[in-house]
Amino acid sequence: MFFRGAALLGLLSLVHVFPEKTLLDGTAVPCADSRETTSGVPAVHVYAFNARKIPAIRKSLFALDSLDWESGDPDAMRAAAREYDRLLSLVRGARTLGYATSNGNGDFEIMVPQTDSVLVFGEVKMPGEPFYYSSKVVGATGQEEVRVVLLMCNEQLQ
């Protein structure tokens, strides 16, 4: 009896089980109009990361969000511009779980492996804005689909 159980367990260990996937069903919407419009922001580059494996990106997002440049202080504005460039460099160099570009309505879909925490980061160049971005951490375990709304803001709109 013991040998049958051990043989069955050994056979099962040879079969590689692929993790289930979760659909990140999202929309990128402008912050200022989030309650007034149903139209989204097109052409947003949306990245999905395993949040635990990208501490440098999380740290850079925190640093950028904590800078107070909306008062017009030139030093704070320069620091924010440098940090945003650093953030984009980190984002483009990191391993993603998935990537998408939002369509004309601001909608995007990304299939990701089921993971406890997924950092969803979106960025787009907007006319007259130094940077326009959003990030959100969502859980993607035990669910077939997770709804994600990215409020596309710059620091001045928050």
The pLDDT of residue 106 is: 95
Structural domain for 117, as ranges: 18-54+96-157
Structural contact between residues 144 and 22, judged by C-beta atoms closer than 8 angstroms = yes
Domain containing residue 23: CATH number: 2.60.40.2190
Q: What type of residue sits at position 134?
A: S
Asked whether residue 8 is assigned to any structural domain, the reply reads: no
pLDDT by residue (tens digit) across 15-33? Answer: 555 558 999 999 999 876 5
Asked whether residue 143 is assigned to any structural domain, the reply reads: yes
Asked whether residue 66 is assigned to any structural domain, the reply reads: no
What is the chain's mean pLDDT, rounded? Answer: 84
- Using alpha carbons, select from 128, 146, 127, 124 the residue that is nearest to residue 26: 146
The pLDDT of residue 19 is: 57
Measured over the CA atoms of residue 37, residue 71, residue 125 and residue 152, the dihedral's sign is negative
3-state secondary structure of 142: coil
Asked whether residue 75 is assigned to any structural domain, the reply reads: no
Asked whether residue 69 is assigned to any structural domain, the reply reads: no
Asked whether residue 34 is assigned to any structural domain, the reply reads: yes
Give the position of tokens 């040879």. 14
The pLDDT of residue 156 is: 42
The pLDDT of residue 77 is: 85
CB atoms under 10 Å from CB of 74, counted, come to: 8
Mean pLDDT (whole number) for 60-77: 83
Lowest mean pLDDT among 5-14, 22-31, 121-130, 143-152: 5-14
Question: pLDDT grade, residue 116 (50/70/90)?
Answer: very high
149 vs 17, which has greater pLDDT?
149
Number of separate domains in the chain: 1
Mean pLDDT (whole number) for 60-67: 89
- Which residues touch 134 (CB under 8 Å, ≥6 apart)? 28, 121, 122, 123, 150, 151, 152, 153
Asked whether residue 12 is assigned to any structural domain, the reply reads: no
Asked whether residue 27 is assigned to any structural domain, the reply reads: yes
Structural contact between residues 99 and 48, judged by C-beta atoms closer than 8 angstroms = yes
